[in-house]
Structure 1
């Protein structure tokens, strides 16, 4: 293949690599850095070395996986220095959909969206780096364990065990989660109570053990610690609405189902995703850090 055609093919894999790196790392800036490092490694090779690679996508995927694994191995210390709760970056439902995707079936679309949901990314955060890499590469991108083994430096059998352990956590989380229809119905009721200032109604929509996390990253005002319990969360939310009368809260479809976008002066300044379990809101996740809203504006 002529070099210019090869370069064009390689650069055409950027969306695929971003999709992979985001699921691995949970933020767009970290994903962009990982993809850039992957391309740097490609162009460090000689033309002859690049030309000898039969399947550029496979090579790029393996290298991106290694880069992400290295980032994940150092991520815990960075998270510890983060100001306030750290949440994955929420993305719009269309963020990593290929222009030629044929996923027009709503059920298929929901499956695609779930792999970039905040709920799933939170579960991925609880995994070891090797588990996360094995799960994402195998269960989301269908890489065989023989290739994953070369990325994580373990045997294919060990990689299969990593992916199985990760899958158990994901399936346990999904098993308790509401269907998309039920989720949106509960969130609509939650929104109505919040909109009308109905404290009792808001409390009744929340799980008694609900947790609210607000991620401002030290850049904007946000709760530095999680808020626990239905009454505390309800009062926090109504208080936040009262303190910010210029902000507009609009319902917004997200990969987690119905959520909210916080608008101010024509820009989205926050995205709220919720988790529903047994017809009650069990988790409220508010991302206010502007560095994590890059795809919304």
Structure 2
């Protein structure tokens, strides 16, 4: 397998620095496959552990170290996706992928402690990490997800994907095609960023004002709001559906949390909201907009998924 260059990757050579330069691309790959930054970090660590467990002679015999690292990381992700499905069936409430902040959130001094770069900084934010995209990936089989992400997002050939998935190139082509059909069937055209931001801003102002009528006007009649508390904090165990029901649920939420601060922030590369109470981040909301109406709201309250949003 050849190496595809990712953002910030330099030319590959046998040196330690070149091997470690693959880390950003591997984090990007594993996050898209697993929907969890913590799990992605674990996968990359395990991948490097396996590399350094080999003798120098074994390492030198590998023609493309970057390709080897990608193959190993992808196979670990494939194994984890199977077990993750079983774990998420036992998850209390809905499971939502881990939200990521924009890199500017760290660059302007809000990085916790001002220390080393957070792994979230290394994830390239584009449409392939939007919450709407990741939620659809969650509905795919592990093999579909790996074949689609490797081929359509990272541009590996189906012959290369077949080495990882353990199927023929033709079968991998069918898997990716099936994944594309799922995406087309579930996703409306994304609103332009400026329009999306305008809707989110109006939504924030209406929510701050607890204006139910204004909220209803900004919500699609079929809007769905999903909350992920992970069983650790209170959250709706089932999605809330319908514009009036969602609007009343949001106003009730604000009424039960005096002092709740609602901030506009980029969530997985798209305009969203962050909720803070007493200076602590208590929820991150990804928002999907189509035809100037909000169609989906994903609210993450699980503290384990909010570590990238914690302010010092």
TM-score by length of 1: 0.89
Q: State the shift of 1:213 in Å.
A: 0.7
In 1, are the aligned partners of 2:93 and 2:231 still within 8 Å (CA)? yes
Measured in 1, the distance between the counterparts of 2:173 and 2:184 equals: 16
Deviates more, 1:254-263 or 1:277-286: 254-263
1:11 pairs with 2:20: yes
Matched residue, 2:271: 258
Deviates more, 1:171-180 or 1:194-203: 171-180
In 1, are the aligned partners of 2:158 and 2:173 still within 8 Å (CA)? yes
> Counterparts of 1:1-297 in structure 2 under 5 Å?
6-94=15-103, 112-255=125-268, 257-297=270-310
Aligned length: 283
Q: 1:172 to 1:179 in 2, by over 3 A?
A: farther
Q: Per-residue CA shift, 1:94-137, capped at 9, x if unaligned?
A: 376669xxxxxxxxx9xx52111111000101111111101111
Deviates more, 1:147-156 or 1:157-166: 157-166
* Partner-residue secondary structure (3-state), 1:223: coil
Q: Is there any run of 5+ residues in structure 1 with no aligned partner, and where? A: 100-108
* Partner-residue secondary structure (3-state), 2:309: coil
In 2, are the aligned partners of 1:256 and 1:274 still within 8 Å (CA)? no
Measured in 1, the distance between the counterparts of 2:15 and 2:282 equals: 40
In 2, are the aligned partners of 1:119 and 1:256 still within 8 Å (CA)? no
* Partner-residue secondary structure (3-state), 1:115: helix
Q: 1:51 to 1:22 in 2, by over 3 A?
A: same
In 1, are the aligned partners of 2:37 and 2:120 still within 8 Å (CA)? no
Measured in 2, the distance between the counterparts of 1:52 and 1:8 equals: 18
Measured in 1, the distance between the counterparts of 2:277 and 2:209 equals: 20
Q: Per-residue CA shift, 1:121-156, capped at 9, x if unaligned?
A: 001011111111011111111111111101000111
* Partner-residue secondary structure (3-state), 1:91: coil
Q: Is there any run of 5+ residues in structure 2 with no aligned partner, and where? A: 1-12, 104-118
Measured in 1, the distance between the counterparts of 2:96 and 2:269 equals: 14
Measured in 2, the distance between the counterparts of 1:268 and 1:6 equals: 41
In 2, are the aligned partners of 1:275 and 1:283 still within 8 Å (CA)? yes
Measured in 2, the distance between the counterparts of 1:98 and 1:284 equals: 25
Measured in 2, the distance between the counterparts of 1:151 and 1:5 equals: 23
Q: Per-residue CA shift, 1:181-240, capped at 9, x if unaligned?
A: 332222222222111111111112111221111111011121122111111111110111
TM-score by length of 2: 0.85
